[in-house]
A and B are shown apart, each in its own frame.
Chain A
């Protein structure tokens, strides 16, 4: 069976360091941190009092007030990022086959705020159920893909992947595969998350997963630094238009990059801790390389999962050394979570975008906030500390790993005819 080639023809980003793709990239190459004290709720009694929230975002600037009211923020974020990506793609909705256009979205949690608010209201009452009729359709994670399909009339494959922080990469890999298998011409993919709520911060705090560096939010996300103490919760969305190469060429589309491989694996070890030797992380990169038909030596840049947790960063750097051997030292590696924070189910989407833009701009965004080397991290690895680096990038790999032991990697390559 001949597999179709798949390319990326549109990008959209709504992130804590920029509300559009150009602003996002500008933040990335300039090493901007999106962290600040939490404004969404009173975090006074919380162990972590900061997060990477969106800045200056008002859903009603983009979505009709009446519609916006029925959506959880995670759906609003998704629609806004998709709007940018669709415009960017130049797709003419009059000229495409809507039955071969799909939406495969990712969200780790879905409508957490909606769930929290409705249950809180119920518990404050006398036991009489007065749930809003929009409670369920606002909260369920898959509703994001539903709304996107309704907006654009995309009647092809439609669902949401849920694998915690790997969700968006799973969505991208599924979109890639369905187009490769000729089940669709175009798929809107990516992910969105809006978990900066009492339940989100409180829940991750209880797991001791979040940084508690309240005296210095902007330096809290410090992947691979000796003093890293957990991730910084982020929110937002990333959207990518994936299209078969044939379809993109036929309409004269601008092509950002080609998606050439996806890898998936499970740690099968522990619900939240990474495998100590990075077994799942190692396997997933090997799977992705094999799927892409690439040798490890062909990879130039790795956008790591690198969340700034003590265990996770170590396990991932160990896995990279095992997969890439001597070539590991020639790679550029960076964790853009040092700037954006961790967008959970949207992380894979904004990091795939960062990887694609790294290829387009031939620039590696940095891992900011590096102060002290961790002696357990091989010092010969180029982790692109603190400043962006110019280099030739033909192939980039992006890792995302999720609680539950889910691992995903996606490989994007400079488009060559």
Chain B
């Protein structure tokens, strides 16, 4: 697992109060991990803070699963 993936998972576990085993790449924040709309906004903000980037709203809307968050960040943080 990449360093980014590890950090993303840690943020999700902390903010959503879920078990590590639940945080699979396919897991949806809202459907599987119990996040509501405010939780999702908070997650995106935490990613922005941790990786020191800014995620535009139209792109944030496409980040709905653990895997999507990891690939978005791996792609954009490296640049």
Contact = CB atoms under 8 A, between A and B. Distances in A.
Give the secondary structure class of B's interface.
Answer: helix
A380 interface: no
A69 B15 CA distance: 8
A14 B15 CA distance: 27
B35 to A, nearest CB: 10
A130 B45 contact: yes
A134 B17 contact: no
B49 interface: yes
Interface string A49-93: 000000000000000111001000000000000000000000000
B38 interface: yes
B42 A66 contact: no
A133 B17 contact: no
A66 B17 contact: yes
B45 A134 contact: no
B45 A133 contact: yes
B41 interface: yes
Interface string B12-35: 000111000000000000000010
Given A130-B45, A130-B49, A132-B45, A69 B17 contact: yes
A134 B45 CA distance: 12
Contacts of A276: none
A296 interface: no
A137 interface: yes
Interface residues of B, number: 10
B38 A137 contact: yes
A134 B15 CA distance: 12
B49 A134 contact: no
Contacts of A133: 38, 41-42, 45
Which of A64, A69, A133, A137 counts the most chain B CB atoms within 10 A?
Answer: A133
B31 to A, nearest CB: 17
A377 B66 CA distance: 68
Contacts of A132: 42, 45
Interface string B29-65: 0000010001001100100110000000000000000
Contacts of B42: 132-134
B45 A64 contact: no
Interface in A21-56: none
Given A65-B17, A132-B42, 12 more contacts: A64-B17, A66-B16, A66-B17, A69-B15, A130-B45, A130-B49, A132-B45, A133-B38, A133-B41, A133-B45, A134-B38, A137-B38
Interface of B: 15-17, 34, 38, 41-42, 45, 48-49
Interface of A: 64-66, 69, 130, 132-134, 137
16 contacts: A64-B17, A65-B17, A66-B16, A66-B17, A66-B34, A69-B15, A69-B17, A130-B45, A130-B49, A132-B42, A132-B45, A133-B38, A133-B42, A133-B45, A134-B42, A137-B38
